[in-house]
Chains A and B, each alone.
Chain A
Amino acid sequence: MKPVIVTKGITKTYQPDTIPVHALRGVDLTIDEGEFVAIVGPSGSGKTTLLNIIGGLDRPSAGYIEVGGKDISKFSDNALIDFRRDHIGFVFQAYNLIPVLTALENVEFVMLLQQLPKEKRNQRAMELLHAVGLDDKVNKRPIELSGGQQQRVAVARALASKPAFVLADEPTANLDSVSTGQLLDIMANLNQEEQMTFVFSTHDQRVIDRAHRVITLEDGKIISDRKGHV
């Protein structure tokens, strides 16, 4: 299997000048194409920091990082933005969507930034909304959707640019158990059928149980890395 994410000795220290906070203390990690990975650990263990660094939203204090075969630490600001647009799908904890755009337009948005023609954008956005079970909500604004539906639109948007992998930082933290189950079903399904790689953080046991690989962080270090669940 081809690795899509490789990190070696990643550290991240916040406020290095005053009271340093060591959010990550040397993380070595390889995630292969098609994996379905949960990053778990108590609050403050460094999950968000790690995902941000992998996603090119933040830079490590030290260490090596390779995403999709590229050393993104050397990218310029615009190159990094374009890289995120073209190769990484993001799902945040909440408020993912542009409030004034419909579900369809939100999904189309990334493709618009990629300057795909209208036809293509529209077709793919419809397919993706179908895949997340929202055919009947395409013209709804985020405010008209439930939290679970909004997160599903966010997943559809994350997939719009056909990224190498999807990063989701606690995507179910604001959802009830039914919506959590639905979102996980959809993600697992996309992973199964399309070999889409998912890396998500969580501290919800029901979510952890669905992962194929569970990486546990504590105090900025990986303390366990279990594979096996199918």
Chain B
Amino acid sequence: MLLSLAWRNIWRNKRRTLITAASVLFAVLFSSVMQSIQHGTWDHMVDNVVNYYYGYLQIQGKKFWDDRSIDEVIDRQTLLEKLPEGFKNSYPLVPRLESFALASAGNRTQGALMIGIDPEAENALTGLKGRISKGDYWQSSPEGILVGEGLAENFKIDVGDTLIFLSQGYHGANAIGEYPVRGLIHFASPDLSKTMVYLHLEDAQQFYATGDQITSLVVGLKDKEELPGAIKALHSDLDTATYAVKDWQEMMPELMQAKEMDTASANVILIILYIIISFGIFGTILMMTKDRQYELGVLLSIGMRRMQLFGMMWMEVVMIGLVGVAMGFLISVPLVKYLSLHPFQMTGEYAKAYEKFGAEPIIPPAFDWNIFSWQVLFVFVITTVLAFYPFWVIRKMKPVEAMRL
């Protein structure tokens, strides 16, 4: 009956309850949509970068990540043998040999990132073949290179033309090679488009004179969830003096930092929003308590304990909050669901910022129940904290004074 009493009490002033609940509704709607977009955006961006190139996990030569030196290579065969049992069957393993080189054609020279790949494995991981805008993916023959559209444009070359590469090879050897361009690759990111060059792993190994060595082996995890298990297995089986195991977060520190900063500033907005809402709820609580002084005095007189009175008021306040949450869900859950299924396209500055990280400029809001359950918790905590006001009033209430008309 106390519960039903509290419920009926909140509808005594329908307008006030609805206005208060509506402010909660607004907060819930705003923050769940905003957080869904935010999470979705970052997930999308991370997924993009991960799927585009890095993968969730790589095994590299110990110092390769910091030095980027061709000397930090590891033997492919040895590594494959040392991998934990079952790894070879569970995950696609994608070998790469990457280093910088000078590319030149005619009287023009520029830097390029040369990546030796196993075309089939690489395509399975990153879908490289699908990004070819002109030419073919080593179907007709194994020779030649694929270059970013931007790079081709810089050199004013096209499929069939030749590029010359110069670099330092393994242990100081001179690396020099001439390769025909067999295809162009489209990159959303202009930076990548201007620097990326793919070639057969064997060609790269020959160019850099490394023998059958690689700079990194991408472990093609399907999902971040698999990461902890895979890392643990690798750490127990691989010699950490020779190998480094890098996860996507370590390989993309700028992205992670940007994400953290973005999340932090979004949280500040949410906190400010909830503080404003709290003032509104508090106003309602003030009025609720003041309007009912007399009635609370009667209840205290006829034998309702202060804690019971407070329990009733607390339930009322929490209920108003939860009515707002419920109304908020009614709108935001379908809305976020809809948006997550129909991502919107970005334009202008935002789109550019995305492309910089090599991500497609779309916003696919994430549909995550966690975002919603946090709202419930948030509103519950806020209303409970605010309910300390009636607690404080009731605690020192004297029935005779409360009932003086």
6 tightest A-B CB contacts, nearest first: A85-B303, A100-B8, A58-B400, A84-B303, A57-B399, A57-B400
Q: Count chain B CB atoms within 10 A of each CB in A58, A92, A96, A108 and give the residue with the most.
A: A92
Contact: B301 with A110, CB < 8 Å? no
**Is A77 among interface residues, defined by CB-CB distance under 8 A?**
yes
Chain B residue nearest to A169 (CB atoms) is B403
CB-contact partner of B303 in A82, A98, A105, under 8 A: A82
Provide the main secondary structure of the chain B interface: helix
**Is A101 among interface residues, defined by CB-CB distance under 8 A?**
yes
Stretch at the interface among B50-58, B171-179, B304-312: B304-312
CB-contact partner of B302 in A52, A84, A99, A105, under 8 A: A84
**Chain A positions near chain B (C-beta within 8 angstroms):** 52, 55, 57-58, 77-78, 81-82, 84-86, 90, 92, 95-96, 98-101, 105, 108-110, 112-114, 157, 161
The distance from the CB of A226 to the nearest CB of chain B, in whole angstroms, is 28
**Is B298 among interface residues, defined by CB-CB distance under 8 A?**
yes
Chain B residue nearest to A112 (CB atoms) is B1
Contact: B9 with A92, CB < 8 Å? no
Q: Tell me the residues in window 117-152 of chain B with beta carbons closer than 8 Å to chain A beta carbons.
A: none
Chain B residues whose C-beta falls within 8 Å of the C-beta of A100 in the assembled complex: 5, 8-9, 11-12
Q: Given A52-B400, A105-B1 in contact, is the A99-B12 Cβ separation under 8 Å?
A: yes
The distance from the CB of A200 to the nearest CB of chain B, in whole angstroms, is 16
Q: Given A98-B5, A101-B5 in contact, is the A81-B298 Cβ separation under 8 Å?
A: no
**Is B326 among interface residues, defined by CB-CB distance under 8 A?**
no
The distance from the CB of A51 to the nearest CB of chain B, in whole angstroms, is 10
The distance from the CB of B10 to the nearest CB of chain A, in whole angstroms, is 10
Contact: A81 with B306, CB < 8 Å? yes
Provide a sorted-by-A list of 16 A–B residue pairs whose CB atoms are within 8 angstroms.
Answer: A55-B301, A78-B306, A81-B300, A81-B304, A85-B304, A92-B298, A92-B403, A95-B295, A95-B298, A98-B5, A99-B12, A100-B8, A100-B12, A109-B302, A112-B1, A113-B303
**Is B299 among interface residues, defined by CB-CB distance under 8 A?**
yes
Chain A residues whose C-beta falls within 8 Å of the C-beta of B400 in the assembled complex: 52, 57-58
Chain B residue nearest to A100 (CB atoms) is B8
CB-contact partner of B308 in A105, A110, A113, A157, under 8 A: A113
Chain A residues whose C-beta falls within 8 Å of the C-beta of B2 in the assembled complex: 112
Whole-angstrom distance between the alpha carbons of A51 and B298 in the complex? 15
Chain B residues whose C-beta falls within 8 Å of the C-beta of A98 in the assembled complex: 5, 295, 298-299
Whole-angstrom distance between the alpha carbons of A78 and B394 in the complex? 13
Q: Count chain B CB atoms within 10 A of each CB in A58, A98, A108, A114 and give the residue with the most.
A: A98
Q: Given A57-B399, A98-B295 in contact, is the A78-B302 Cβ separation under 8 Å?
A: no
**Is B389 among interface residues, defined by CB-CB distance under 8 A?**
no
Q: Tell me the residues in window 186-201 of chain B with beta carbons closer than 8 Å to chain A beta carbons.
A: none
